[in-house]
Amino acid sequence: MITSLTGVRRAATAVLAGGLLLTVSPLAAPAQAATQPIPSISAKGGFLLDQADGKAIYGKANNTRRQMASTTKLVTAITVLTQTGVDLNKKVTVKQAYRDYVTREGASTADLRTGDKLTVRQLLSALMLPSGCDAAYALADTFGTGSTRTARTQSFIGKMNKKATQLGLTNTKFDSFDGISPTGNNYTTPWDLAKLARHAMSSSVFRDVVKATSYKTTAPTSTGGTRTYTWYNTNKLLGSYSGAIGVKTGTGTAAGPCLVFAATRNGKTYTGVVLNGTDRFNDAAKLLDFGFGSSTARTMKLRSLPVDAQRD
Task: Give 190-237 pLDDT, tens digit per residue.
Answer: 999 999 999 999 999 999 999 999 999 999 999 999 999 999 999 999
Q: What is the DSSP string of 216-254?
A: EEEEE-TTS-EEEEEEE-S-TTTTTSTTEEEEEEEEETT
Mean pLDDT of 287-292: 97
Share the mean pLDDT of the chain: 91
Residue from 227, 244, 198, 262 nearest 122 by CA: 227
Mean pLDDT of 147-175: 98
| 3-state secondary structure at position 69 | helix
pLDDT reported for residue 36:
79
User: Catalytic one among 25, 70, 176, 240?
Assistant: 70
User: Catalytic one among 73, 163, 248, 286?
Assistant: 73
Mean pLDDT of 39-45: 97
> Under a CB-based contact definition with an 8 Å cutoff, are residues 177 and 160 in contact?
yes
User: Catalytic one among 108, 131, 176, 181?
Assistant: 131
pLDDT value at 19 more than 50: no
pLDDT reported for residue 15:
33
pLDDT reported for residue 6:
26
Question: In sequence order, what are the residues at sequence separation of 6 or more whose Cβ sits closer than 8 angstroms to the Cβ of residue 3?
Answer: 11, 23, 24, 38
Q: Does residue 173 carry a catalytic annotation?
A: no
Strand order in the sheet with 56-60: 56-60, 45-50, 268-275, 256-265, 244-252
- φ and ψ at residue 86, rounded to 5 degrees: -60, 135
pLDDT reported for residue 71:
98
Alpha-carbon span 121 to 107, nearest angstrom: 21
Mean pLDDT of 162-178: 98
The predicted-structure confidence for 101-117, as pLDDT tens digits, reads as follows: 999 999 999 999 999 99
pLDDT value at 11 more than 80: no
Alpha-carbon span 127 to 228, nearest angstrom: 16
Percent residues over pLDDT 70 in the chain: 89
pLDDT value at 24 more than 50: no
pLDDT reported for residue 32:
60
Predicted TM-score (pTM) of the model is: 0.91
pLDDT value at 31 more than 80: no
Q: Where are the alpha helices (DSSP H) in the chain?
A: 8-11, 31-34, 73-81, 96-105, 120-128, 133-143, 149-166, 190-200, 204-210, 280-292
**Cα 119–Cα 188–Cα 67 angle in degrees, nearest 5:** 85
| 3-state secondary structure at position 28 | coil
Tell me, what amino acid is at 107? A
The one-character DSSP state at 180 is: -
Q: Does residue 70 carry a catalytic annotation?
A: yes
| 43-56 exposure pattern, b = at least 16 Cβ within 10 A, e = fewer | bbbbbbbbbeeeeb
pLDDT value at 69 more than 90: yes
Sign of CA dihedral 22, 35, 262, 81: negative
Q: Does residue 131 carry a catalytic annotation?
A: yes
**Cα 157–Cα 170–Cα 256 angle in degrees, nearest 5:** 70
pLDDT value at 87 more than 90: yes
Question: In sequence order, what are the residues at sequence separation of 6 or more whose Cβ sits closer than 8 angstroms to the Cβ of residue 232?
Answer: 129, 130, 213, 214, 305, 306, 309, 310
